[in-house]
Amino acid sequence: MSSRHFLTLGDLTQQELDGIIQRAIKLKQDHRNGVQYMPFKGKVLGMIFEKSSTRTRVSFEAGMSQLGGSAIFLSPRDTQLGRGEPIEDSARVLSSMVDIIMIRTFEHKKLETFAQYSNSPVINALTDDYHPCQLLADVQTYVEHRGSIKGKTVTWIGDGNNMCNSYINAARQFDFNLVVACPEGYEPMQALVEANQDRVSIVRDPAEAARHSDLLVTDVWASMGQEEEQLLREKAFADYQVTPQLMDLANKDALFMHCLPAHRGEEVSHEMMEDPRAVVWDEAENRLHAQKALMEFLLLGGQS
């Protein structure tokens, strides 16, 4: 299968990723200026969601429509995917009918298998292990507010989850340092940490992690699929809330990001969400622009 896929940030080169970020910034400006750009006329995006979503669904669907194409929402509840049709068969059939496919699912392996059998480009719209589309939006947001993220120090506070794993990949691909503050037993993927030891460190103390940071990021304590662990996790992460006081320890021009949905009073305080250092709404909006740039890259090979 010759299609390029986007299953993790490692699937694209550093130059390609930088190109997508710059293109996303341009597409955003054009969109704001009312410029119509519809290179996807007749193209169809298949969207498979095995987990809930607000931002991912709307940004992909709106993005596809703005580029002149259309999108089909597929849930396991009303497709054969939910009735056990093999993933390999689904991939071959769906990719023969649509031009590009995004998948939000549980096991990362399932996404990899789908991509292996797909004739169309496949995009990871979140798995238990990674959420690379969110990182495109996060990096775009940082670049828009502060310029290049290269050489900066980014601090992850909380669960070593799919977002945190993608931050490790981003540290490598966008060339920044990452400090992860998490309780014992909630570290990001060990192999990933080991492979990126030159730029990733794990500490236990959020205050230590926040010092000298240019960007603080957090995410929910219990991700989708971990709902039954909520109480246990609330205890484990009690000291890991991002507040304006924690932000005060970071560099003067540090920003705060959260992929959303946010649980105020848990991983982030009410005040922090309203703090001028929080750029979470820009970050959410940029999902639209970053994914338009990504789809353009995967379908048309990028534009300048």
**What residue ranges bind ligand CP (CB under 6 A)?**
53-56, 126, 134, 259-260
Nearer to ligand CP, 117 or 278 (CB): 278
- SS3 for 253-303 is CCEEEECCCCCECCCECHHHHHCCCECHHHHHHHHHHHHHHHHHHHHHCCC
220 binds, among ligand NVA, ligand CP, none (CB under 5 to 8 A by kind): ligand NVA
Whether 104 is a known active-site residue: answer yes
Cβ-based neighbours of 253, under 8 Å, separated by 6 or more? 146, 214
Whether 131 is a known active-site residue: answer yes
CB of 209 to ligand CP, least distance (A): 22
User: Considering 259, 277, 289, 291, which one is annotated as catalytic?
Assistant: 259
Question: CA angle, 298 as apex, 125 and 288 as ends, to 5°?
Answer: 50
Q: Which of residues 154-183 bind ligand NVA (CB under 6 A)?
A: 161-163
User: Considering 5, 11, 99, 134, which one is annotated as catalytic?
Assistant: 134
Whether 197 is a known active-site residue: answer no
Nearer to ligand NVA, 60 or 117 (CB): 60
Q: Which residues on adjacent β-strands are paired with residue 218?
A: 157, 258
Q: What is the distance between the alpha carbons of residues 157 and 168, in angstroms, rounded to a whole number?
A: 13
Q: Which amino acid is at 85?
A: E
Tokens for 194? Answer: 């080991």
54 binds, among ligand NVA, ligand CP, none (CB under 5 to 8 A by kind): ligand CP
Q: x/- binding map, residues 112-151, to ligand NVA, per CB under 6 A?
A: --------------x----x--------------------
Strand 100-104: give its sheet, edge to edge.
Answer: 70-74, 44-49, 100-104, 122-124
Nearer to ligand NVA, 16 or 285 (CB): 285
Instruction: Determine the 3-state secondary structure of 99 from DSSP.
Output: coil
User: Considering 5, 104, 258, 289, which one is annotated as catalytic?
Assistant: 104
* Cα Rg of the chain (Å, integer): 19
Tokens for 13? Answer: 């080169």
172 binds, among ligand NVA, ligand CP, none (CB under 5 to 8 A by kind): none
User: Considering 5, 55, 172, 287, which one is annotated as catalytic?
Assistant: 287
Active site residues: 104, 131, 134, 219, 259, 287
